[in-house]
Amino acid sequence: MSAQIVCMEQVDKIYVNGEEKTYALQNMNLTLNQGEFTALCGPSGSGKTTALNLIGILDSPSKGRIVVEGKDLGTLTRSAQAAMRKQRIGFIFQAYNLIPVLSVYENAEFVLMLKGVPMPERRAKVMAILDIVGMADKADRRPHQISGGQQQRVAIARAVAGEPALVLADEPTANVDSKTADGLLDLMERLNTQRGVTFLFSTHDPRVMERARRIVTLKDGTVTNDSVKQ
């Protein structure tokens, strides 16, 4: 049996605006195991992004408990949260969010630099991952010099370069054409199967849902369906 990576127990996320309370998540329960390739689906406003924010320690729940790799996130200090994100979680954003002043190589290297990986090891790892994502020949380019799909490949490289236990991907194919989206999904699938990286997507994209081996459906902040493909 695979190790449990994420465990959300009765999690609420409430946004308060004056006297009005909005439940982004309500009594959400979710577990993710190592090596899963899971899609979090649901209409806009269903709480997908909020769930990813909470698991990624970018936000904190109003109620309930989230455990990532055995650590209760509610007990972590701000610097411990940053360390946890750096060491164990990778992020892929819809808008790529590469650092514009860094080259493709440096963007992929960024997390390794934060982790304090020595230069020779860093170089080997970055070149290996750029090779996997097919961007090794464009290592010196800046983000504005490559296409959106290529930027997302670099973002994937950045997310997995640090060998995280979990990669959180928010609508990773939303801003690219279908051919590029297929390529990105192939890439993430390959990283999942070959490197054992756990992926959790939030998505509307039927292609992502088609590829995912587990689909968790959210509606009004609550899990309404959780199915594993055979």
* Residue 29 or 60 with smaller CB distance to other proteins: 60
What is the nearest approach in angstroms of other proteins to the Cβ of residue 1?
Answer: 28
Q: Nearest 5°: phi and psi at 78?
A: -60, -40
**CA separation for the pair 70, 166 (Å, rounded):** 13
Residue 162 or 183 with smaller CB distance to other proteins: 162
CB closer to other proteins out of 160 and 193: 160
Residue 21: other Cβ atoms inside 10 A: 10
Per-residue contact track with other proteins, 202 to 221, x per CB under 8 A? x-------------------
Does residue 53 touch other proteins according to CB under 8 A? yes
Beta strands in the chain (DSSP E): 4-17, 20-33, 37-41, 63-68, 71-72, 89-92, 166-170, 198-203, 214-219, 222-228
Stretch that binds other proteins, among 63-71, 107-115, 126-134, 146-154 (CB under 8 A): 107-115
Q: How many residues interact with other proteins (rule CB under 8 A)?
A: 37
Helix locations, 97-221, DSSP H: 104-115, 119-132, 148-161, 178-195, 206-211
- Show contacts with other proteins in window 140-169 (CB under 8 A): 158, 162, 168
If the CB atoms of residues 53 and 152 are measured against other proteins, the closer one turns out to be 53
Single out the residue of 9, 12, 59, 163 in contact with other proteins (rule: CB under 8 A). Answer: 59
One residue of 18, 70, 100, 120 binding other proteins per CB under 8 A: 100
Strand order from edge to edge, sheet including 222-228: 89-92, 166-170, 198-203, 37-41, 214-219, 222-228
Backbone angles phi, psi at 195, to 5 degrees: -105, -10
- By the rule CB under 8 A, 13 interacts with other proteins: no
The count of residues in the chain is 230
* Interface residues toward other proteins, by CB under 8 A: 49, 52-53, 56, 58-59, 78-79, 82-83, 85-87, 89-91, 93-95, 97, 99-102, 106, 109-111, 113-115, 158, 162, 168, 170-171, 202
